[in-house]
Amino acid sequence: MRLAFIAAGLVVGTSALADTPVLTVYTYDSFVSEWGPGPVVEAAFEETCGCDLQFVAAGDGAALLSRVRLEGERSEADIVLGLDTNLTAAAAETELFAPHGLTAPELDLPIAWDDPTFLPFDWGYFAFVHDAEKLPEPPTDFKALAKSDVSILIQDPRSSTPGLGLLMWVKAAYGDEAGAVWESLADNIVTVTPGWSEAYGLFLDGEADMVLSYTTSPAYHLIAEDDPTKGAVAFTEGNYLQVEVAGMLAGTDQPELAAQFLDFMLTDGFQGAIPTTNWMYPAKTPSGGLPEGFETLTIPEKALLLSSKDAAAVRDDAVREWQGALSQ
Amino acid sequence: MAGRAVPVIPGGAAGALVVGLTLGTLAAVALRADGPAALGPADWAAVRFTLVQAVLSAVLSVALAIPVARALARRRFPGRQALVTLMGAPFVLPVIVAILGLLAVFGRGGIVNQALAALELPPISIYGLHGVVLAHVFFNLPLCVRLLLQGWSDIPAERFRLAASLGMGPGEIRRQLETPMLRAVVPGALAVVFLICMTSFAVALTLGGGPRATTVELAIYQAFRFDFDLGRAALLGGLQMALTVAAGLLALWFARTPAFGAGLDRPPQRWDAAPGWDWVWIALAALFLLVPMAMVAIRGAEGIARLEAGVWSALAQSLAVALAATVLTLTLAVPLAIGARRVRGLDVVGYLPIAASALVLGTGLFILLFPFVDPGQLTLPVTALVNALLALPFAVRVLRPAVDTIEAAHGRLADSLGLTGWSRVRWLLLPRLRPALGFAAGLSAALAMGDLGVVTLFAPPDGGTLPLYIFRLMGSFQMEAAGGAAVILLAASLALFLTFDRWGRAGA
Amino acid sequence: MLEFLNVNLRQGDFHLSASFSVEAPGIVAVIGPSGAGKSTLLAAVSGFLPPDGGDVLWLGESLIPLSPGSRPVTTVFQDQNLFPHLTAFQNVGLGLSPRLKLSSEDRGAVEDALAQVGLAGLGTRRPAELSGGQAGRVALARALVRARPIVCLDEPFSALGPSLRHEMLDLVGEVLSDALVLMVTHDPSDARRSAPRSIVVADGMAHAPKETAALLDDPPEALRSYLGAQP
């Protein structure tokens, strides 16, 4: 206990000693890991801001929002980074966030962006990832998948961002028929994991033919591991889009610094790190273009995305529908 | 009679603290809720599934542990101690790492299915209720074996000598010595496994095969993270606690202290001929528990090279948390176990934390602390505190029967000498408890090392514990490095457990 | 003087009454058939069994409100007299201070007691390293340092051979000569050898102490069948 208190004391001590302003950014776990964008982004921003950028990791996107809601107006956070469009309606409803203040930011998204509060920092298409050597001809839409005996790993929409993305994907593609599609998919689903890491880990261990991930996931294997065998499938219904966003809290004690960070977020110092650390598409393509290897990635012909309002409206019913279809 | 001689105030204080932390956090969550909450049909389905899998897991774990523990109790062979210790490894691994180990054996591409394919037999699937139960048995069998082994070693060597002198065979020994012991130990073991499985989350979800396998803990998670319905989270947390407390009381009702009297601390030696199937049980248990662990180690070994310096600071943080949690656990568990001699049922309070959802506990603490301090700065103390609470049931489970056995054997003499209060604790209970203390400390430390649960809400700005580090690695495609870090975690947990356990035995 | 005033002892179906007084000091044997309640009578003195009715007085003061440890009584049990994890020295030392806080004077007293029972130099041994006779001697040494006026011996030497047992009984007479020693025995010859007076316990009743020799030479009805054909 004493050791722990001393350690905690040291943390308090060092941050109190520093005279520079502190910008606190809440984000999800993998963002701050040694392999994530966190360290690069922190170094780049601190070079110019004359401040101390502190990342606080708080689980995944949904956990981030819960934490901010628990803390309310007294939150230490200046910025929350890592929500997606499935969460932004609920986040905006809390009235804890302030407008970003940028008019028509230049973005390279497959869709138009007009949210006054939240600003995208990266995006990607959800897709089923497969091993081209083991499964050379993967099904290319949900119906073909359901008819095949191809096995898939998915995440639980109640505990995982990609899991919720898949739920919205089926809903966006099939609307009222979504329940029937889930029922037909039931025998393809090996299991439902709590999060992306578990599902992807199981997939790499050969537990299923395909896993729900992103079209950008094969880039990691190609670039970091020199392994060209992983591929992502473009579905004929279109692939659902995930847009990851950041927002400034209304209660921030560093409004200027926070605004400066949101500006910085769309510059090369931040965006350049995204492709090979977060393995997503940058919200604004850096001046040097995308890294070599990204040109090999599958690009779906159609991008599906429910507006954050629609997503919030259908969410609860969609989960019930999913639960019912897979519980039979 | 003997009850009056032991101090009860520290136990009362420890009990009050535990009740305050478990029920207080639940109340904090309930009070933050915006309005009344109700449970839907999906929640009741979750309750049903939770109960079914917990009962199945508990019964199966204990039923399998009995022959294994009996075989280990009557067989002496080189490496026996090492085997017993190693078999405990699954209990302390982060869940996802252990699951990957299990899948390497029972999964689609695992050893078993490869063998089946070679024999041209149809493959088996691990996903579903049976997979959940299999994984729970994998996690809890070692604990049950240890608890039952403790029961066997609590039967004094003199009794076995007496039995041998009377020409008792294994059958008579079972009736006269083992069955009374089992009647005393089994209810507690069943309760512990049942309680552990009641709060299962990742195992049930990952191996359950779909939303059918929704547990109450997942429903709580959903209420917190997905619906932000604090009222429903508190309601579910309360329901989960009520169910587990009921189970704990039931176990208390059935548990009886065996009256074996005391021995003279002679090393146990058995004269009865043990049947050959002992070896089969030992081999099967070793295979079942060790092969997945070996797969984790083999696959992880390559990953160690890919680790960066961060792993060592994470390891240091985990060690600090584990040691602090261990001290706290024993500080709470010893007074509870001793105080229960005077206030019957005081030790049941020690089971409360396992009934509490880790999510409710963490969130409640967060709500309570946030108005006063920055939770990020309290990461390590809070993590240590919560881990201490979560390990408390195991420590109490180990210590309580040990205290009873000591009192049954030496209480009369201590009374006649006026050994009361602290003197009794200092000169009778603590020295005689040493093996149990070592085991309990080892368990607490190892459990705290492997725990991921509570840290996320209180996640520190930089670094974090080793399990969190592993989880972050997995979230960044670094599966091999995560495997390597898991091997380091496994080794550190085992080393901690071994150190404490060996310290306990050194006194015997 | 130890007085039993209309004492009623009950343990389940078992019942024992006692109403008499015993003069101190001296060794008093408690004899009678097996299961008659000899140990039960001692438990009332040592405090392990509170009587259903009546009172037990020592020097005119009731013992009933006192816990076993605070009574003017030392008990040596049939077994489990020593804590296995403590040395012989510590086991004796507990008799002086339950906290084992021993002054140099106390330490001297412990050494003396060990020497008196013939265990000089064996203080560092643990019970598992002692023979049965030696363990009994450690228990006696502790009774010595406790220096309580009443000593209850609940057949502590029954496991020893006759010559060793006699040796121990002689040692009791020698070192505990100032105390009232209540000694449960099932061997009339032990009583005859060491105890001038004896209490007969039989048929639910403990009888006032009588001279041992006279009692054994002309046993009352209750004792006769137990003694059988003994001379």
Report the pLDDT value the prediction gives residue B453, as an integer from 0 to 100. Answer: 56
Report the pLDDT value the prediction gives residue B408, as an integer from 0 to 100. Answer: 84
Tell me which chains share at least 3 CB pairs under 8 Å with chain A. Answer: B
Tell me which chains share at least 3 CB pairs under 8 Å with chain B. Answer: A, C
Residues of C in contact with B420 (CB under 8 A): 67, 69, 98
B379 and A189 within 8 Å at the Cβ level: the answer is no
Q: Which helix (H) or strand (E) holds B123?
A: none
B261 and C85 within 8 Å at the Cβ level: the answer is no
Q: In terms of pLDDT, which residue wins out, B259 or C133?
A: C133
Is residue A12 over pLDDT 70?
Answer: no
Is residue B191 over pLDDT 50?
Answer: yes
The string over A283-304, giving b where at least 16 C-beta atoms fall within 10 Å of a residue's C-beta and e elsewhere, is bbbbeeebeebbeebeebeeeb
pLDDT in tens, B10-34: 888 888 999 888 888 888 888 887 7
Structure-token match 């993590």, residue found: B383
The string over B269-305, giving b where at least 16 C-beta atoms fall within 10 Å of a residue's C-beta and e elsewhere, is ebebeeeeebeebbeebeebbbbbbebbbebbeebbe
B225 and A32 within 8 Å at the Cβ level: the answer is no
pLDDT in tens, A302-323: 999 999 999 999 999 999 899 8
Residue A50, judged by CB atoms within 10 A of its CB (0-12, 13-18, 19+), counts as exposed
Q: Which helix (H) or strand (E) holds C15?
A: strand C14-22
pLDDT in tens, C18-49: 999 999 899 999 998 888 899 999 999 998 88
Give yes or no for A12 touching B (CB within 8 A): yes
Structure-token match 């405990």, residue found: B88
B377 vs A1, A12, A55: nearest CB: A12
- Cα separation of B120 and B108, whole Å? 15
Report the pLDDT value the prediction gives residue A20, as an integer from 0 to 100. Answer: 86
Q: In terms of pLDDT, which residue wins out, B310 or B67?
A: B67
User: Chain A: nearest CA to B476, how far in angstroms?
Assistant: 6
Question: Judged by CB atoms within 8 Å, which residues 366-385 of B form the interface with A?
Answer: 366-367, 370-371, 374, 376-381, 383-384
Residues of B in contact with A207 (CB under 8 A): 103, 107-109
Q: Give the residue from C200, C167, C179 showing the smallest Cα distance to C75.
A: C179
Q: Which residues contact B436 (CB under 8 A, 6 or more apart)?
A: B150, B398, B399, B402, B504
| 3-state secondary structure (DSSP) of residue C4 | strand
Structure-token match 């997995």, residue found: B474
Question: Judged by CB atoms within 8 Å, which residues 103-122 of A form the interface with B?
Answer: none
Question: Judged by CB atoms within 8 Å, which residues 186-215 of A form the interface with B?
Answer: 186, 189-198, 200-202, 204-208
| 3-state secondary structure (DSSP) of residue C221 | helix
Give yes or no for A65 touching B (CB within 8 A): yes
Residue A74, judged by CB atoms within 10 A of its CB (0-12, 13-18, 19+), counts as exposed
- Cα separation of B9 and B335, whole Å? 8
- Cα separation of C106 and C141, whole Å? 13
Task: Return the DSSP state at B429.
Answer: I
Distance in angstroms between the alpha carbons of the first and the last residue of chain C: 32
Is residue B454 over pLDDT 70?
Answer: no
Cα-based angle C150, C155, C160 (whole degrees, multiple of 5): 130
Residues of B in contact with A55 (CB under 8 A): 461-462
Q: How many helices (H) and strands (E) does chain C have?
A: 8, 11
Q: Which helix (H) or strand (E) holds C73?
A: strand C73-76
The string over B443-482, giving b where at least 16 C-beta atoms fall within 10 Å of a residue's C-beta and e elsewhere, is bbbbbbbbbbbbbbbbbbbbbbbbbbbbbbbbbbbbbbbb
Say if strands A189-193 and C2-11 run parallel, antiparallel, or are unpaired: unpaired
Q: Give the residue from B35, B50, B25 showing the smallest Cα distance to B230.
A: B35
Say if strands C210-211 and C73-76 run parallel, antiparallel, or are unpaired: unpaired
| 3-state secondary structure (DSSP) of residue B261 | coil
Omega before C156 within 30 of 0, i.e. cis: no
Complete DSSP assignment for A22-86 = EEEEEE-HHHHSTTSSHHHHHHHHHHHHSSEEEEEE-SSHHHHHHHHHHHGGG---SEEEEEEHH
Pick left, alpha or beta for residue B410 (phi over 0 → left; psi -120 to 50 → alpha; otherwise beta): alpha
Per-residue H/E/C for B167-184: CCCHHHHHHHHHHHHHHH
- Residue A24, strand partner residues: A54
- Cα separation of C25 and B477, whole Å? 87
Give yes or no for C132 touching B (CB within 8 A): no
Angle, helix B277-304 to helix B41-74, in steps of 10 degrees: 110
Contact B8, B347 (CB under 8 A): no
Q: Give the residue from C37, C26, C18 showing the smallest Cα distance to C151.
A: C26
Mutation target among B427, B434, B437 for the C interface, most CBs of C within 10 A:
B427
Report the pLDDT value the prediction gives residue B404, as an integer from 0 to 100. Answer: 86
Nearest residue of chain B to residue A157 (CA atoms): B226
Task: Return the DSSP state at A156.
Answer: -
Summary mean pLDDT of chain B? 82
Q: Give the residue from B334, B295, B352, B487 showing the smallest Cα distance to B25.
A: B352
A151 and B32 within 8 Å at the Cβ level: the answer is no
State CA A234 to chain mean position distance. 19
Report the pLDDT value the prediction gives residue A14, as an integer from 0 to 100. Answer: 46
Count of CB atoms situated within 10 Å of the CB of A176 = 8
Give yes or no for C136 touching B (CB within 8 A): no
C98 vs B4, B419, B432: nearest CB: B419
Report the pLDDT value the prediction gives residue A8, as an integer from 0 to 100. Answer: 42
- Range scoring the smallest mean pLDDT among A49-63, A88-102, B191-205, B383-397: B191-205
pLDDT band per the 50, 70, 90 thresholds, residue B463: low
Residue B402: C-alpha distances to residues B66, B71, B398, B436 (Å): 19, 22, 7, 7
Q: In terms of pLDDT, which residue wins out, C68 or B253?
A: C68
How much is the average pLDDT of A104-112?
Answer: 87
Nearest residue of chain B to residue C78 (CA atoms): B413
Residue B68: C-alpha distances to residues B55, B72, B81, B146, B170 (Å): 20, 6, 14, 10, 15
- Cα separation of A307 and A86, whole Å? 8
Report the pLDDT value the prediction gives residue A2, as an integer from 0 to 100. Answer: 38
Residues of B in contact with A190 (CB under 8 A): 108, 125, 127, 209
Say if strands A79-84 and A152-155 run parallel, antiparallel, or are unpaired: unpaired
Residue C46, judged by CB atoms within 10 A of its CB (0-12, 13-18, 19+), counts as buried
pLDDT in tens, B366-389: 888 888 877 767 777 888 888 898
How much is the average pLDDT of A58-63?
Answer: 81
Of the ranges A7-11, B203-207, C9-13, the best mean pLDDT one? C9-13
pLDDT in tens, C98-115: 888 899 999 999 999 999
What's the one-letter identity of residue A41? V
Share of chain A above pLDDT 70, in %: 94
Contact A214, A234 (CB under 8 A): no
Contact B481, B108 (CB under 8 A): no
Pick left, alpha or beta for residue A50 (phi over 0 → left; psi -120 to 50 → alpha; otherwise beta): left
Say if strands A189-193 and A152-155 run parallel, antiparallel, or are unpaired: parallel
Q: What is the largest CA-CA distance in chain B?
A: 73
pLDDT in tens, B101-137: 888 898 888 888 889 988 888 888 888 888 889 999 9
Residue A3: C-alpha distances to residues B45, B324, B453, C89 (Å): 44, 7, 21, 39
Report the pLDDT value the prediction gives residue A15, as an integer from 0 to 100. Answer: 47
Angle, helix B277-304 to helix B80-87, in steps of 10 degrees: 60
Q: Predicted ipTM? A: 0.80
pLDDT band per the 50, 70, 90 thresholds, residue B328: very high
Q: In terms of pLDDT, which residue wins out, B21 or A145?
A: A145
Is residue A10 over pLDDT 60?
Answer: no
Contact C151, C182 (CB under 8 A): yes
- Range scoring the smallest mean pLDDT among A277-291, B195-209, C70-84: B195-209
Q: Which residues contact B40 (CB under 8 A, 6 or more apart)?
A: none
| 3-state secondary structure (DSSP) of residue C11 | strand
Q: Which residues contact B411 (CB under 8 A, 6 or more apart)?
A: B1, B2, B5
Nearest residue of chain C to residue B433 (CA atoms): C85
Report the pLDDT value the prediction gives residue B336, as an integer from 0 to 100. Answer: 92
Is residue B359 over pLDDT 50?
Answer: yes
Report the pLDDT value the prediction gives residue C231, as an integer from 0 to 100. Answer: 45
Nearest residue of chain B to residue A160 (CA atoms): B226
- Cα separation of B252 and B272, whole Å? 32
Percent of chain C that is helix, strand, coil (3-state, to 5):
35, 25, 40
A198 and B99 within 8 Å at the Cβ level: the answer is yes
- Cα separation of B176 and B182, whole Å? 11
Is residue B476 over pLDDT 50?
Answer: yes
How much is the average pLDDT of A210-232?
Answer: 94
- For the CA atoms of B174, B178, B184, B186, what is the dihedral angle to 10 degrees? -80
Contact B120, B312 (CB under 8 A): no
Is residue B258 over pLDDT 80?
Answer: no
pLDDT band per the 50, 70, 90 thresholds, residue A83: very high
Strand ranges in B271-429 using DSSP code E only, listed in sequence order: none
- Range scoring the smallest mean pLDDT among A153-157, B160-164, B450-454: B450-454
How much is the average pLDDT of A33-46?
Answer: 91
H helices within chain A, ranges in order? 2-17, 29-32, 38-49, 61-71, 85-93, 142-147, 161-174, 178-185, 196-204, 217-225, 255-265, 268-271, 274-277, 308-326
- Cα separation of B479 and B307, whole Å? 11
Q: Do chains B and C touch (3 or more CB pairs under 8 A)?
A: yes
Residues of chain C below pLDDT 50: 231
